[in-house]
Chains A and B, each alone.
Chain A
Amino acid sequence: MVAHIVPRLPRPIQPLLRPLLRWVLAPLLTVLVASFVIFAALAQAPGDPVYRLLGNHATPAQAAYLRHTLGLDQPMLVRYGHWLVGALHGNFGDSITYRAPVSTLLGSRIETTLFLVLYAGALCLIVGVVLGVMSATIRPLSPVIAATSGIGVAIPGFVAAILLISIFSLALGWFPTGGAGSGFSDRLWHMTLPAAALATSWAAYLTQVTRSALVEQRGKEHVETARMRGLSTTRIFRHHVARNAAPPVLTVSALTVAGLIIGAVTVEAAFGIDGVGSFLVTSIQAKDYNVVEALSVLIVVVFIAATTLIDIAEVLLDPRLRGKASQ
């Protein structure tokens, strides 16, 4: 009986509804839930942020006054409500620590981290895919690349940072030991080692994924058939192997984007770069609600956007998935 009460949607809308749910509404809901969970978790964490601002002579009356001034004496749900309403209007509030709008504090930091992540991402893709293809196609190189990428995957960003600094900065003096630099060329020079440190393990992982995807596709029946039909190696590679090997490589690339953002936290610290990562860490320590909230939501959005875009790309790339997406 209940089923009859729910109005049935007209047929032409249905195929649109599923992608809308999958690619628009679900991600938005995820961001909303994540923002609440982060806010609540921070509120539950022990420690009162006002004492860090007042220094070591703070009296309880001073603390109460500052708490009231900053609105921290209101219930958590009220504060979250304020934040959400503000955020929907593009206002992410003021930082408790810096007493300045979060948006102005984030500007240059986002720029720094974006530069670092894009630079590292480009290195990952170029190195990862090129080495992966080389490893799958040039047989004598395969064991060497496999061993090197195996080591690369195991090296965390901060270890890579120490190695790179001691070789290329302190011993050879080619690159600066830290800082973000200013202006494009100076920035590129300053960010080369951090980007390399950040990219190392992800590039190695991408090498392995690319290699195994290519090797797997090469063994497939239709490739054998194409080979028996006498098609050229280049053509087989381009049309049958590479195209089918792309989806797993794309999926890993999306993971790589998220991984690079998270990895930026330690690499930024090692190179003394004040980017989003190091700002998030210090803001969590200071319980700077609005900053933590804005940054966390930003990271969630980037992560979800990356996975959604890859999802869409996979559907576009593989016609068989198109029907499934709208079902």
Chain B
Amino acid sequence: MSLAVSLAACTGPSNKSASADSNAPSPPVPVVAQLPASDKPVATVSWVLPAGEPNTIDPMLAVDYSPDFVESNLCDSLLTQGSDFSIRPNLATATQVNPMTLQLTLRSGVKFWDGTALTVADVAYSLNRIKNNPDSPANYGFQFVKSVAVSGPNQVTVTFTQPNELFVKELATPTGAVIQQAYAAKAGAKFGTASGGVMCSGPYKLQSWIAGNSMTLVKNTSYWNPALQPKIATVKISFATDTSAITQGLLSGEFDGAYELPASVIRALTGASTGSVHLGASPQSLELNVTHPGGLIANTNLRKAIMTGIDRAALARAVYNGAAQPNYTTIAKTSWDPAALPIYKAAYAKFEKANAYNPTAAKAAVTASGYRGQTLNLGILAGDATQSAAAQIIQHDLDTIGIKLAIKQLQPTQYSQAGSQASGRAGLDLLLGNTFNQVADPLEFISLTVQKGGPFNYTNYDSQQTTNNINQALATFDPAKRAQLIIAAQDQYEATYGSTSLVNIYEISFLNKRLTGAITSFPYMFVPSLAYIGGK
């Protein structure tokens, strides 16, 4: 049997068409996936990372906005993403020979920055490195991987203990990045740090990284991909996390661009003389999670009251300045598989109706739940202005339907722990969270949320039927058939009102008016996004 994976999809998830919510706010600027392309060279560009200095540029350890952004400009992945979330061949083409075997055929003629050829040995080494390191955040993707081995002069074969259709997609993220074996072995523990650097084949080379100060990337003049020759000669990357420092820097032209801007800066940056704000589709969402299986919050009526008692459109308007859209299921609309969009959309309509903001129905559900005025605790990330504003709206909405809510500010490590460990959620009933998927596939999130033992399965949801549907979906390589299985699972678990995505958040970026070509949708994070940018 030979199953060819469909790696190209023609349409990306469009928030606008997906939303039928009449209250949904209109975005302050048009939502686009990419700015008009450019071929014009530019000498220097100054970029700022609002999430701060990367803690690493080792693809194996890169897991957050800053590390992923920088790493993706330096290191090519085996597969890549289009601005429409489609998965495409890059250093390799992938063929799913059968559900248990994936074959990667390496492109020839690719060289590392030092001029040596990128080989299948480097590919196998890079993948095995993640497989054998449980402290790699990407290691979870290898849970069903049996082996990764060189199987021919330009071929690497991955075998599985059970089918996992997600695996091939993750190769279009830092999980699939190829590093040079010899360099990594020599650098040892320093690999990926400011003093060790990396050796990759990407369109930009790391010229310098002064810890705590800045990074300088220079273009790789012998980059293998003719379609993505870097146009900017030198990129200076600064790390600033203070919102006003970033805003002022962009307004004064000191910084030329930034991704991951907080929604609070949209007003200040709209109408700037130096450049423009852009919005792009993104599988990022604000989630409201039920934190444990017992107690007051175990009551489905109370959960339903909370889910229908929150005005999601108001959240999108007031907290995100229109740079978000209401969402009514656990799966964020923006993580629907682009290859099966109509199927997901049709199934979504009933949830949009059932979970719509309805204070009268929510009040009735509160009464039916037997709730007697006890205070529920909502955990949020301390110091996060967006979460704090969202929590206050939620508190107000729940107060309207008669539920008392206390907001608990959690320090960053405490907050991370609450997201991953039951003991970290003690004393909380609800937890606000920001999530994103690396690829547009609902399974990336829900298999962790509603599977028995999943790290996000806070309510210990355990349904054999759901588990079967999800396991079958993981073994189904046809997007349409897979969508049907995921939707069947969705019908089952949504009835328990365990957790939900409240709003989908757009990717917010800013680019100086002298530049164009930037990818403005979320895949920017996993592709060499600086190579797309050039002069106007």
Binary per-residue interface labels of chain A (33-73) against chain B in the complex, 1 for a CB within 8 Å, 0 otherwise: 00000000000011111011111111111110110010000
Q: How far is the CA of A274 from the CA of B414 in the complex (A)?
A: 24
Check if B412 sits within 8 Å of A286, measured CB to CB.
Answer: yes
Contact with B417, one of A51, A112, A286 (Cβ below 8 angstroms)? A51
Q: How far is the CA of A105 from the CA of B456 in the complex (A)?
A: 34
Check if B421 sits within 8 Å of A63, measured CB to CB.
Answer: yes
Is A86 close to B, CB under 8 A?
Answer: no
User: In chain B, what residue has the closest Cβ to A177?
Assistant: B248
Q: How far is the CA of A275 from the CA of B52 in the complex (A)?
A: 12
CB-defined contacts of A56 to chain B, threshold 8 Å: 419-420, 435, 455-456
Check if A275 sits within 8 Å of B416, measured CB to CB.
Answer: no
Binary per-residue interface labels of chain A (269-281) against chain B in the complex, 1 for a CB within 8 Å, 0 otherwise: 1111011001100
The residue among B140, B192, B420 with the most chain A CB atoms within 10 A of its own CB is B420
Check if B213 sits within 8 Å of A108, measured CB to CB.
Answer: yes
Check if B455 sits within 8 Å of A272, measured CB to CB.
Answer: no
CB-defined contacts of B189 to chain A, threshold 8 Å: 99
Could you list 12 further interchain pairs (A-B, Cβ under 8 angstroms) beyond the known A65-B134, A178-B254? A47-B412, A47-B415, A47-B416, A48-B413, A48-B424, A53-B137, A56-B455, A62-B135, A66-B135, A100-B195, A270-B242, A278-B241
A58-B420, A275-B212, A285-B413 given as contacts; is B242 within 8 A of A170 (CB)?
Answer: no
A228, chain B: closest CB distance, angstroms? 59
Task: List which B129-144 residues lie within 8 A (CB) of chain A.
Answer: 134-135, 137, 139-140
Is A156 close to B, CB under 8 A?
Answer: no
CB-defined contacts of A145 to chain B, threshold 8 Å: none
Contact with A112, one of B61, B212, B455 (Cβ below 8 angstroms)? B212
CB-defined contacts of B246 to chain A, threshold 8 Å: 272
Q: How far is the CA of A286 from the CA of B415 in the complex (A)?
A: 11
User: In chain B, what residue has the closest Cβ to A181?
Assistant: B213
CB-defined contacts of B135 to chain A, threshold 8 Å: 53-54, 62, 65-66, 69
Binary per-residue interface labels of chain B (233-277) against chain A in the complex, 1 for a CB within 8 Å, 0 otherwise: 000001111101110110110100000000000000000000000
Task: List which B414-435 residues lie within 8 A (CB) of chain A.
Answer: 414-417, 419-421, 424, 435
Q: What are 30 A-B pairs with beta-carbon distances under 8 A?
A: A47-B417, A48-B424, A51-B416, A51-B417, A56-B420, A56-B455, A58-B455, A59-B455, A60-B455, A62-B134, A98-B55, A98-B194, A99-B55, A104-B194, A105-B211, A112-B213, A169-B248, A177-B245, A177-B248, A177-B254, A179-B214, A179-B238, A179-B254, A269-B241, A271-B245, A272-B48, A272-B240, A272-B242, A274-B239, A287-B413
A99-B193, A105-B194 given as contacts; is B252 within 8 A of A173 (CB)?
Answer: yes
Check if A109 sits within 8 Å of B211, measured CB to CB.
Answer: yes
User: In chain A, what residue has the closest Cβ to B423?
Assistant: A48
Check if B448 sits within 8 Å of A52, measured CB to CB.
Answer: no
CB-defined contacts of A180 to chain B, threshold 8 Å: 213
CB-defined contacts of B211 to chain A, threshold 8 Å: 98, 100, 104-105, 107-109
Binary per-residue interface labels of chain A (161-174) against chain B in the complex, 1 for a CB within 8 Å, 0 otherwise: 01001000110010
Contact with B212, one of A51, A108, A179, A182 (Cβ below 8 angstroms)? A108
Is B70 close to A, CB under 8 A?
Answer: no
Is A97 close to B, CB under 8 A?
Answer: yes
CB-defined contacts of B435 to chain A, threshold 8 Å: 56
Q: How far is the CA of A69 from the CA of B242 in the complex (A)?
A: 33
CB-defined contacts of A112 to chain B, threshold 8 Å: 212-213
Check if A48 sits within 8 Å of B421, measured CB to CB.
Answer: yes
CB-defined contacts of A165 to chain B, threshold 8 Å: 248
B121, chain A: closest CB distance, angstroms? 25
**Chain A: number of interface residues, binned into ranges:** 35 or more
Check if A269 sits within 8 Å of B63, measured CB to CB.
Answer: no
CB-defined contacts of B414 to chain A, threshold 8 Å: 45-47
Check if A60 sits within 8 Å of B421, measured CB to CB.
Answer: yes
Q: How far is the CA of A106 from the CA of B213 in the complex (A)?
A: 11
Q: How far is the CA of A210 from the CA of B448 in the complex (A)?
A: 65
Q: How far is the CA of A170 from the CA of B253 in the complex (A)?
A: 10
Binary per-residue interface labels of chain A (250-281) against chain B in the complex, 1 for a CB within 8 Å, 0 otherwise: 00000000000000000001111011001100
A65-B134, A108-B213 given as contacts; is B52 within 8 A of A269 (CB)?
Answer: no
Q: How far is the CA of A62 from the CA of B53 in the complex (A)?
A: 24
Task: List which B47-62 residues lie within 8 A (CB) of chain A.
Answer: 48, 52-53, 55-56, 61
Q: How far is the CA of A53 from the CA of B441 in the complex (A)?
A: 24
Binary per-residue interface labels of chain B (280-316) against chain A in the complex, 1 for a CB within 8 Å, 0 otherwise: 0000000000000000000000000000000000000
Is B210 close to A, CB under 8 A?
Answer: yes
CB-defined contacts of A179 to chain B, threshold 8 Å: 214, 238, 240, 249, 254
A193, chain B: closest CB distance, angstroms? 11
User: In chain B, what residue has the closest Cβ to A67?
Assistant: B135
Task: List which B372-416 residues lie within 8 A (CB) of chain A.
Answer: 410-416
User: In chain B, what residue has the closest Cβ to A266?
Assistant: B242
Is A282 close to B, CB under 8 A?
Answer: yes
CB-defined contacts of A278 to chain B, threshold 8 Å: 241
Contact with A45, one of B190, B214, B411 (Cβ below 8 angstroms)? B411
Contact with B140, one of A57, A100, A109 (Cβ below 8 angstroms)? A57
Check if B420 sits within 8 Å of A51, measured CB to CB.
Answer: yes
CB-defined contacts of A271 to chain B, threshold 8 Å: 245
Contact with A170, one of B213, B245, B252 (Cβ below 8 angstroms)? B252
Is A150 close to B, CB under 8 A?
Answer: no
Is A152 close to B, CB under 8 A?
Answer: no
CB-defined contacts of B239 to chain A, threshold 8 Å: 272, 274
A222, chain B: closest CB distance, angstroms? 52
Check if A105 sits within 8 Å of B212, measured CB to CB.
Answer: yes
Is A19 close to B, CB under 8 A?
Answer: no
CB-defined contacts of A48 to chain B, threshold 8 Å: 413, 416-417, 421, 424
Check if A49 sits within 8 Å of B413, measured CB to CB.
Answer: yes
CB-defined contacts of B462 to chain A, threshold 8 Å: none
Is A176 close to B, CB under 8 A?
Answer: yes
CB-defined contacts of B491 to chain A, threshold 8 Å: none
A46-B411, A62-B135, A170-B251 given as contacts; is B416 within 8 A of A52 (CB)?
Answer: yes
Closest 7 CB pairs of A and B: A47-B413, A272-B240, A272-B245, A47-B414, A55-B63, A51-B416, A109-B212
CB-defined contacts of B194 to chain A, threshold 8 Å: 98, 100, 104-105
CB-defined contacts of B249 to chain A, threshold 8 Å: 177-179, 272
CB-defined contacts of A100 to chain B, threshold 8 Å: 190, 193-195, 211
Check if A285 sits within 8 Å of B241, measured CB to CB.
Answer: no
Q: How far is the CA of A287 from the CA of B411 in the complex (A)?
A: 10
CB-defined contacts of A45 to chain B, threshold 8 Å: 411, 413-414
Q: How far is the CA of A136 from the CA of B210 in the complex (A)?
A: 47
CB-defined contacts of A63 to chain B, threshold 8 Å: 420-421
Task: List which B97-151 residues lie within 8 A (CB) of chain A.
Answer: 134-135, 137, 139-140
Check if B417 sits within 8 Å of A270, measured CB to CB.
Answer: no
The residue among A45, A56, A63, A100 with the most chain B CB atoms within 10 A of its own CB is A56
CB-defined contacts of A57 to chain B, threshold 8 Å: 137, 140, 448, 455
Contact with A52, one of B212, B412, B421 (Cβ below 8 angstroms)? B412
Task: List which B186-213 residues lie within 8 A (CB) of chain A.
Answer: 189-190, 192-195, 210-213
User: In chain B, what residue has the closest Cβ to A276?
Assistant: B212
CB-defined contacts of A286 to chain B, threshold 8 Å: 412-413
